[in-house]
Chain A
Amino acid sequence: MMKRLKQVKRGEPFNIQVDNEFLTAYHGETLATVLLSAGKKIMRKSLKNKNPRGYYCGMGICNECLVKLEDETRVRACQTLAEPSMKIKTGA
């Protein structure tokens, strides 16, 4: 649902594992950027009704973009920088 602007220079791409696929990421990008650029809008499911939720405020306060790291920690995709060898889960 988002696209990367060409005029912004990105370094060497690397992959991060999201659920069961590999997505392209660049240093300096947040997990939200990586997910949204790959067309992945759904970041978590709401607790009661299991409704899809995604990127909303972008400034780290709404907590709608939570994704799960490998160690089960839930982090805000909009505030967490992507790093090589990251494995994250969405929809949790």
Chain B
Amino acid sequence: MEEKDFVIIGTGPAGISAAVTAAKSGVDVTLIGEDPRMGGQIFRQIIPPLYSQTHYVDTQNEKIFNNLSEEKKKVHLQFLSKTLVWGIFDDKVLATDNKDHPLIKAKKLLISEGAYEAPVAFPGWTLPGVITLGGTQILLKSQGLIPRGRTLVAGTGPLLYYTASQLVKNGANVVGVLEASSLFKWMNWTFRLIRAPKLLWKGIQYLTLLKKRRIPIYYNHVVAKAEGTESLEKVIFTKDNNNWEPQEGTEKTLDVDTLCLNFGFIPSTIFTHMAGCEHEFDPTLRGWIPTLNNKLETSKEGIFVAGDCNGIGGVKKAFVEGQIAGTEIALQLGQVSKPETHSFLSRLQKKNSRLNWYQKFLKDIYAFRPGLLKLLTPETFICRCEEVDFKTITNTLENGAWSLDQIKRLTRMGMGRCQGRFCFPTVLGILSKYYSQKELNQLDFSTRPPAKPLPLKELI
């Protein structure tokens, strides 16, 4: 088994930032990522040999992107690209599908696996043509692909306007934007953005562009239903209230070929769970957050976490968190001394807590509103993989099951290929209505390898 000083899973801004920071102090760094290039979801770039003169990193984060790209060149990093870490075994042993590096033991491990789109189940959400906003971004950034035909952008939050205007600029036919929250709420939130004038300015630009192109923004509206025989043809949407509950009798119908959805993000905790780190459940995120000390170390010695998998904090926070983890790890590995890093670390920690407002801002915008659960009909699939519908879940709950594990055993929910990523949040949303935070914290479940489906032949 190879031994490495410092291994990073995930090559988004948090991962790269930690890598650069630690490597500058002389730490031998290995980054592992599934994609051909570093960048994660936010800094995703075109896959060579495809070539584009412009990259599609959004301009507000361009500075960090350029900074990291420059810094990256100055240090030596080992990057295992197109490599899936499928398991974490005791103690900090990573199993990968990379033929040259099947097993890696890390002295220090940073998990920066980011987040994924928060699923919202509604009738027809499994139809081809209904895609995530993140999935739309990925096609644009890494493949130079935009939706053809009538495109509707729906959900909540700034990413809707950003993506819609990006699509419009590139010639897509965007027929509207559905925003679940009210214009009034947005005016309140916008007020808070005074702390980030650049961001505010960007937002205004996006909205202006959409206005100029006469793309309607429907505030206080949610998608109620997606229809089509073999793929998406129509979207039925309704007015909602502040709880995002659909209002009967307000249905409108639009012909749509592609529906791009975003209701915020869920921190990915599959690796921190697999490694046995402690977590706390966050009902507004409908997910878990690893318990960390102020140096971002988990309850498991030598395992660190940075970036969006530690609550959704955005690029800047990911960047700073990466620096904190990278510095602390360099210190623990003996590459730098305590006095050398002391002031730097405390400066970073201060900077990090200054960024908490933005995390809080995102949390307020994206906090799950249980009114969305009213979209569910008895036949709506909660679990896409195993095709478990809402009726089956409610029956199981009524029969006394309440833990995720029990629901899983009795209904097969979460036993499919996505391993619960796209059904647990919905069920947790349902459970949050019935149970206290304390009870939800005690939800008993274990995460085992593989982190993603793994071809058996990889192990032969």
Q: Do chains A and B touch in the complex (CB under 8 A)?
A: yes
Please give the residue numbers on chain A whose beta carbons come within 8 Å of chain B beta carbons, in ascending order: 1-5, 7-11, 26-30, 32-33, 36-37, 39, 41-43, 46-49, 51-64, 66, 73, 78-79, 81
* Chain B residues in 8 Å Cβ range of A11: 49-50
Give A2 to B131 CA distance when docked, in angstroms: 12
Q: Check A7/B143 contact, CB under 8 A, given A55-B128, A58-B138.
A: no
A-contact 0/1 string along B220-234, CB 8 Å cutoff? 000000000011000
* Chain A residues in 8 Å Cβ range of B128: 41-43, 52-55
Please state if A60 and B452 are interface contacts (CB–CB under 8 Å).
yes
A-contact 0/1 string along B37-61, CB 8 Å cutoff? 0000100001111111110000000
* Chain B residues in 8 Å Cβ range of A66: 417
Please state if A60 and B143 are interface contacts (CB–CB under 8 Å).
no
Looking at chain B's contact residues, the main secondary structure is: loop
* Chain A residues in 8 Å Cβ range of B148: 1-3, 39
* Chain A residues in 8 Å Cβ range of B230: 41-42, 52
Chain A residue, CB-CB nearest to B138: A58
Please state if B384 and A54 are interface contacts (CB–CB under 8 Å).
no
Q: Check A1/B52 contact, CB under 8 A, given A51-B126, A54-B128, A63-B385.
A: no
Q: Check A59/B41 contact, CB under 8 A, given A27-B49, A28-B50, A48-B387.
A: yes
**Does B453 sit at the interface, judged by CB under 8 A?**
yes
Measured CB to CB, the closest approach of chain A to B175, in angstroms, equals 14
Measured CB to CB, the closest approach of chain B to A73, in angstroms, equals 6
Please state if B47 and A1 are interface contacts (CB–CB under 8 Å).
no
Give A37 to B51 CA distance when docked, in angstroms: 17
4 additional A-B pairs beyond A1-B257, A78-B135, beta carbons within 8 Å, are A36-B139, A47-B387, A56-B384, A73-B457
Please state if A1 and B147 are interface contacts (CB–CB under 8 Å).
yes
**Does B117 sit at the interface, judged by CB under 8 A?**
yes
A-contact 0/1 string along B371-386, CB 8 Å cutoff? 0000000000000111
Please state if A59 and B49 are interface contacts (CB–CB under 8 Å).
no
List 13 A-B residue pairs with CB atoms under 8 Å apart, sorted by A's residue number: A1-B148, A1-B257, A2-B148, A5-B144, A8-B46, A29-B143, A49-B387, A53-B384, A57-B117, A57-B135, A58-B131, A60-B34, A63-B453
Task: Report the number of A-B residue pairs with Cβ-Cβ less than 8 Å.
Answer: 146
Pick the 5 closest A-B CB pairs, nearest first: A8-B144, A58-B135, A54-B128, A28-B50, A63-B417
A-contact 0/1 string along B152-180, CB 8 Å cutoff? 00000000000000000011000000000
Please state if B257 and A59 are interface contacts (CB–CB under 8 Å).
no
* Chain B residues in 8 Å Cβ range of A41: 128-129, 230-231
Chain A residue, CB-CB nearest to B132: A57
Please state if A61 and B146 are interface contacts (CB–CB under 8 Å).
no
**Interface residue from B136, B140, B418 paired with A63 (Cβ < 8 Å):** B418
**Does B116 sit at the interface, judged by CB under 8 A?**
yes
Please state if A73 and B50 are interface contacts (CB–CB under 8 Å).
no
Q: Check A1/B418 contact, CB under 8 A, given A7-B52, A57-B116, A59-B135.
A: no
Measured CB to CB, the closest approach of chain B to A21, in angstroms, equals 17
Chain A residue, CB-CB nearest to B229: A52
Give A12 to B34 CA distance when docked, in angstroms: 26
**Does B145 sit at the interface, judged by CB under 8 A?**
yes
The range of chain B's interface size is: 35 or more
Chain B residue, CB-CB nearest to A48: B387
* Chain A residues in 8 Å Cβ range of B143: 8, 28-30, 33
Please state if B146 and A5 are interface contacts (CB–CB under 8 Å).
yes
Give A61 to B227 CA distance when docked, in angstroms: 24
* Chain A residues in 8 Å Cβ range of B258: 1-2
Give A67 to B384 CA distance when docked, in angstroms: 17
Q: Check A3/B145 contact, CB under 8 A, given A10-B50, A46-B126, A56-B130.
A: yes
**Does B422 sit at the interface, judged by CB under 8 A?**
yes
Chain B residue, CB-CB nearest to A73: B455
Q: Check A62/B452 contact, CB under 8 A, given A7-B54, A42-B231, A79-B34.
A: no
A-contact 0/1 string along B351-391, CB 8 Å cutoff? 00000000000000000000000000000000011110000
**Does B127 sit at the interface, judged by CB under 8 A?**
yes
* Chain B residues in 8 Å Cβ range of A9: 50-52
Please state if B145 and A4 are interface contacts (CB–CB under 8 Å).
yes
Please state if B51 and A8 are interface contacts (CB–CB under 8 Å).
yes
Give A11 to B220 CA distance when docked, in angstroms: 45
Give A46 to B146 CA distance when docked, in angstroms: 26
Q: Check A59/B50 contact, CB under 8 A, given A41-B128, A52-B127.
A: no
* Chain B residues in 8 Å Cβ range of A56: 130-132, 135, 384
Give A7 to B135 CA distance when docked, in angstroms: 20
Give A49 to B135 CA distance when docked, in angstroms: 25
Please state if B384 and A4 are interface contacts (CB–CB under 8 Å).
no
Measured CB to CB, the closest approach of chain B to A28, in angstroms, equals 4
Chain B residue, CB-CB nearest to A75: B455
